[in-house]
A = this chain, B = another copy of it.
Amino acid sequence: MASVGRMAGVSQVTVSRALSDPSKVSPETLRRIHEAIEATGFVPNALAGALASRRSRLITALVPSITNIVYSSLLHGFSDIMREHGYQIMLSETGFDPEREQEMIETHLARRPDGMLLTGIHHSAAARRMLIGSGTPVVEVWDITETPIDCCVGFSHAATGAEAAEFAIRAGYRRAATVTAGDQRAQRRRDAFVEGFRAATGEELPAIDFPPGTATLGQGRDSLRRLIEEKGFEAGVIFCSSDQYAHGILTEAMARNLRVPDQIAVIGFGDQSFAEHTFPSLTTVRIDRDALGKAAAKALLDRFENRPLKTSTINVGFEIIKRASA
């Protein structure tokens, strides 16, 4: 920056000003500075800038998995807004592991982000302490609580399960099963579904549970196979913790020549882009993930400007999309 200044016949500070607030520099000086930048290929050092100004223009985000479209599409909306406002995103995966999350929070905090996005509302006590101690604005997403660290943007997982159960009962189903990923939130959805369904029918629900990790279509196929062959499930509605599972069940039903939804009905979760186009099309729970990500970004931006948050908890809700599979 000093050498750019020398080249343009001004001091280093003037170059700094030309870059951060051009209105404070005369047009003629500005022109010469830009010429010098062009000529030298100068790229400012954001590290030094952040150190001096105590603003890094960095937002860090922690998600369980980036290969899971549910989180990556949420991040897509989030980054869009953040980038528009001049922030960059640093992303890490926690792999659904609270301990790993805590480690990552610490290394992220070391970069002095201006804000942080966390997935879910459950974090280790030590993580909470570090976060609060650092004073970093935090937005927790994909779930809601009355007691966020800072603010949260999400929806009630229990409510989706309960409403799905209600939907299934109203649609006339009297037998049901669940297929669930090894993810705490997915399990809460299932529990609420099971409770609601059992309250109405008194029936026990066979359950297939998978270990943590991204849900696959193959697991979905497998779960229908096991439901039929091991659990004696012959007909009814299956509540899945993701559209992947649901699509797999549709596929397996097709391969077995079972009628959907008469014999086997399926409810997915996520309303992923394919859900509308499966055969038959998939009944599912829609979360507007892009809007959720954007709302999270806005909540954080509001915090930066000390705008009073009307509420620290934003419930973006969900919607059951009735299609052909249930």
A residues neighboring B (CB under 8 Å): 41, 43-48, 50-51, 56, 65-67, 69, 72-73, 75-76, 79, 83, 88-93, 106-112, 129-130, 133-134, 214, 216-218, 221, 244, 247-248, 251-252, 254-255, 273-274, 276-279
Contact: B92 with A216, CB < 8 Å? no
Contact: A88 with B107, CB < 8 Å? yes
Distance of A274 Cα from B76 Cα, bound (Å): 23
Which of B47, B79, B90, B130 makes the CB contact (< 8 A) with A88?
B90
Distance of A216 Cα from B89 Cα, bound (Å): 26
Closest to A254 in B: B279
Which of B50, B67, B216, B274 makes the CB contact (< 8 A) with A217?
B274
- Nearest-Cβ distance from residue A251 to partner chain B, whole angstroms: 5
9 A–B contacts, CB within 8 A, in A order: A44-B110, A45-B51, A45-B110, A67-B69, A67-B73, A69-B69, A88-B107, A89-B92, A216-B273
Distance of A245 Cα from B216 Cα, bound (Å): 18
Closest to A110 in B: B46
List residues of chain B with CB within 8 A of the CB of A41: 129-130, 133
List residues of chain B with CB within 8 A of the CB of A79: 92-93
Whether A88 touches B93, Cβ cut-off 8 Å, given contacts A112-B46, A274-B218, is no
List residues of chain B with CB within 8 A of the CB of A217: 273-274, 277-278
- Nearest-Cβ distance from residue A264 to partner chain B, whole angstroms: 14
List residues of chain B with CB within 8 A of the CB of A278: 217, 251
Contact: A277 with B44, CB < 8 Å? no
Closest to A273 in B: B216
List residues of chain B with CB within 8 A of the CB of A244: 274
List residues of chain B with CB within 8 A of the CB of A46: 107, 110-112
List residues of chain B with CB within 8 A of the CB of A133: 41
Contact: A76 with B67, CB < 8 Å? yes
Closest A-B pairs by Cβ, 6 of them: A217-B274, A46-B110, A218-B277, A90-B90, A41-B133, A216-B273
Contact: B72 with A67, CB < 8 Å? yes
List residues of chain B with CB within 8 A of the CB of A273: 214, 216-218
- Nearest-Cβ distance from residue A138 to partner chain B, whole angstroms: 14
Which of B45, B109, B111 makes the CB contact (< 8 A) with A112?
B45
Whether A112 touches B218, Cβ cut-off 8 Å, given contacts A72-B72, A89-B91, A254-B279, is no
Distance of A133 Cα from B43 Cα, bound (Å): 10
Closest to A129 in B: B41
Whether A43 touches B134, Cβ cut-off 8 Å, given contacts A66-B76, A218-B276, A277-B218, is yes
Contact: A221 with B47, CB < 8 Å? no
Distance of A208 Cα from B56 Cα, bound (Å): 45
